[in-house]
Amino acid sequence: MAVVNVTRNPEKSLKNGYLATSLVGLGTTLKTFTKQLFRLEESNTVQWPEVEYKYSDRFKGAHFLTKRPDGKVRCTACFLCATNCPAQCITIVAGESPDKGVEKYPVRFEIDILRCVFCGYCEEACPVDAIRMGHEYSMAGLAEDKWVYTKDYLLNREAITQTLGEKQVSEKDENVKHDSVESGLPGIHRK
């Protein structure tokens, strides 16, 4: 049988324990603060926005829609991206396309960025590679309407991202396939 040693006044020991650990924590904070204040230690803080942070090529940032060479939206309103989205933030309203080669097109295509979890499932699910995720990560704003990306906004992202010093490609050759399709995912076939 194990014997547990208990102090006679538990309230006093609890107060002293909290006070001691709080003082140790404050001491650690003060030590780190003074080292970085006098530049004795390198800071790991990125000085954003003066210094841009470089994410890897796999980073999934803000969305954009690709266009066909004739300038029309590549999306065929198949609803796979909206169905695959775990946050249910994509809204598509389909309409009959005037182009005889395309059955449907999105009359309305919206993404609620405040609900988006930036998982990339929409990009992977799209059979015609119409939706992509760029490298833009700075999306600050106050107005409510800014957080719902419309079809026109998503199609014209190239002009927007050029001001940020980054060019998003929104026109794509018909013969270029998405990386994941070329790697042989089952059930996805393109000509």
Rounded to whole angstroms, the Cα distance separating 133 from 166 reads 13
Each residue's pLDDT tens digit, 20-60: 888 999 999 999 999 988 988 887 788 888 888 888 888 88
The pLDDT of residue 152 is 92
Model confidence, pTM: 0.63
The pLDDT of residue 112 is 93
Each residue's pLDDT tens digit, 115-174: 999 999 999 999 988 999 888 888 877 776 688 999 999 988 765 555 445 544 555 555
Domains of the chain: 63-172 (3.30.70.3270)
Question: CB of 51 within 8 A of CB of 42?
Answer: no
**The pLDDT of residue 182 is above 50:** no
Token code pair at residue 147: 């957080």
Q: How far is CA 80 from the centre of its chain?
A: 19
Q: How far is CA 16 from the centre of its chain?
A: 46
Q: What are phi and psi of 94, to 5 degrees?
A: -90, 150
Question: Looking only at Cα atoms, what is the longest distance across the chain?
Answer: 88
For residue 185, what pLDDT band results from cuts at 50, 70 and 90?
very low
Facing residues of 67 across strands?
73, 171
Token code pair at residue 116: 């988006």
Kindly report the three-state secondary structure assignment for every residue of 50-114: CCCCCCCCCCCCCEEECECCCCCECCCCCCHHHHHCCCCCEEEEEEECCCCCCCEEEEEEEEECC
Listed in sequence order, the residues at least 6 apart from 7 whose beta carbon sits closer than 8 Å to its beta carbon are 13
Each residue's pLDDT tens digit, 5-18: 666 665 555 556 77
Token code pair at residue 74: 């590549």
Rounded to whole angstroms, the Cα distance separating 76 from 106 reads 7
Phi-psi region of 39 (alpha: psi -120 to 50; beta: other; left: phi over 0): left
